[in-house]
Structure 1
Amino acid sequence: MLRIYVLAFLVFLYAPILLLPVFAFNDSTVIAFPLNGFTTKWFDELWSNAELHAALLNSLFVATVSAVLSVVLGLAAARANVRYRFPGKAAAMGLIMLPLVLPEIIVAVSLLVVAVKVFGLGLSLWTVVAAHVLICTPFAIAILNASFQSLDPSLEEAAVDLGCTRPETFRLITLPLVMPGIVAALLICFTISLDEFIIAFFLTGSDPTLPVYIWSLLRFPRLIPVVMALGTILMLVSITILILAEWNRRRGLARAGIKDKGGFL
């Protein structure tokens, strides 16, 4: 019964996603069966849409900056969490990880009020970056916690005993050993930011990100097959990034001699 349940759950979860390429290659503007025929014209329209290209560049900018900032902050927080003891550590880490359990709609409305009413900021891609750093940092910390826990502290102590300063030890010893976790965290944060819609919808200004632009296309039935084509490409890119992130995570565990107990794939 458990196997049947798991199989039914996977079908329910992934069947709609598998329909994306089916209708992306369908020669009809109506998303329904039976299919009319095979075509690639919807993918051709993607290359001639200037607004789509601008939205894609906006999303790539936001995702790249958000991923880098999230990993830098996550690197510092994960190291402090694993290596040091200080008063209020549990409470501080709990607050940092809180965005993982908060509904995104609540986070989005709260950030909108803070940005506009409290600080008087105009909505732009930078407000989206700030919000995405907030929600991506906990994911980076979760991944980097495992990397620092698998790192033997005696390696850093030996480097210090041999004359290295703390910054040199971190740059020459710690950073290379946790690099697989850093790469995995970068890829995961990049994917989360690239796909995020609710917060971007509330905080974006006149320059929409790709998910917000896709949502605007849904008002035009003729363009829905174009959305299907774009969704197919994004699905393939997201799966590729997740596979690379998992491969880096497992490579890091193998280098540290730790048995893999499961990952995020």
Structure 2
Amino acid sequence: MKPLRILHAYVGAYIVFLYVPVALIPLFSFNDAIQAAFPLKGVTLEWYRTLVATPAIGQALRNSLIIAAAAATITTICATTIAYLDVFPRPVLSRLVSGLARLPILIPGVIVGIALLILVNLAGLGPSRPAIVLGHVLVCLPASVTVIRARFAAIPRSLAEAAADLGASDWIVFRRAILPLAASAIGSAFTLAFLTSFDEFIVAYFLAGTEPTLPLYIWSQLRFPKSLPVVMALGTLILLVSVLLAGLAELLRRRSRV
């Protein structure tokens, strides 16, 4: 029993270490003082009002939403195609392509950012919004392929074979027999890709031009102590949305297993 108690204590300490600092962000976002310290000076909504009234934050938010939506859409289409070919028709190179699609998760983000910066410069795009979208597709693809492939693998192959025996083409088999059964997993993959792209910092740091994303804006404001309360208010809203999206993705993933 003693090793089990040690394990429980370790897990409890790890959870406290991980989540208590996160919980302090919403707490200090209501503090009526610039310094993030105890005791709290008072309760105020001034930082949230400043947040809404700052045009630069709205522009950065729009950039992040546009980039995340584009990256999630492209990622989901690519991941669905790759996962389907890897599980059902299985052409010669399908397993190789599926493996390469999941490989970026093993590569450090700094290396990916530098490599993509060189690539977009050679392609003539330069640091820009399209460059960030392409970079985020690369970052989001491994998790999306894994989620969708797991769902496709759970669908009996006999279903596709029976539809083909009845004269259905590959496209009809995919659209009418396979896709409806995998819709929840595809929705989960889209949500995870959107959330990953929205929060991603390292690749965006290398590929952003004159239009920063929201994480880059937050990073730039951390140099100014007076901006810290507004940043914590913004972080609180981002945390709330991230938790809701992550919960939605998990709900869709569990539904796909039914």
Name the residue aligned to 2:146. Answer: 142
Superposed, which structure 2 residues align to 1:46-57 within 5 Å? 46-57=51-62
Name the residue aligned to 1:132. Answer: 136
Residues 74 and 137 in structure 2, CA contact (< 8 A), matched pair in contact too: yes
Aligned partners of 1:81 and 1:16: how far apart in 2? 42
> Which residue, 191, 198, 203 being the options, matches 1:199?
203
Name the residue aligned to 1:61. Answer: 66
> Which residue, 72, 77, 92 being the options, matches 1:72?
77
Superposed, which structure 2 residues align to 1:104-143 within 5 Å? 104-116=109-121, 118-143=122-147
Aligned partners of 1:66 and 1:230: how far apart in 2? 23
Superposed, which structure 2 residues align to 1:215-230 within 5 Å? 215-230=219-234
**How far did residue 119 of structure 1 move?**
2.0
User: Once the two structures are superposed, what CA deviation does each residue of 1:206-226 show, in whole Å capped at 9, x if it has no partner?
Assistant: 111000011111121111100
Name the residue aligned to 1:231. Answer: 235
Say what the alpha-carbon RMSD is for the aligned residues: 1.3
Q: Which amino acid aligns with 2:87?
A: V
Name the residue aligned to 2:3. Answer: none
Name the residue aligned to 2:49. Answer: 44
Aligned partners of 1:206 and 1:245: how far apart in 2? 32
**How far did residue 90 of structure 1 move?**
4.4
Aligned partners of 1:90 and 1:175: how far apart in 2? 20
What percent of counterpart residues are identical? 43
Residues 117 and 126 in structure 2, CA contact (< 8 A), matched pair in contact too: no
Farther-moved stretch of structure 1 (152-161 vs 183-192)? 152-161
**How far did residue 19 of structure 1 move?**
0.6
Aligned partners of 2:202 and 2:178: how far apart in 1? 37
Residues 117 and 206 in structure 2, CA contact (< 8 A), matched pair in contact too: yes
Structure 1 length as normaliser, TM-score?
A: 0.92
Aligned length: 253
> Which residue, 144, 152, 155 being the options, matches 1:151?
155
**How far did residue 160 of structure 1 move?**
2.7
User: Once the two structures are superposed, what CA deviation does each residue of 1:26-71 show, in whole Å capped at 9, x if it has no partner?
Assistant: 0001111111011111111111111100100000000000001001
Aligned partners of 1:161 and 1:83: how far apart in 2? 15
> Which residue, 186, 189, 197 being the options, matches 1:182?
186
Name the residue aligned to 1:263. Answer: none
Structure 2 length as normaliser, TM-score?
A: 0.94
Q: Which amino acid aligns with 1:248?
A: L
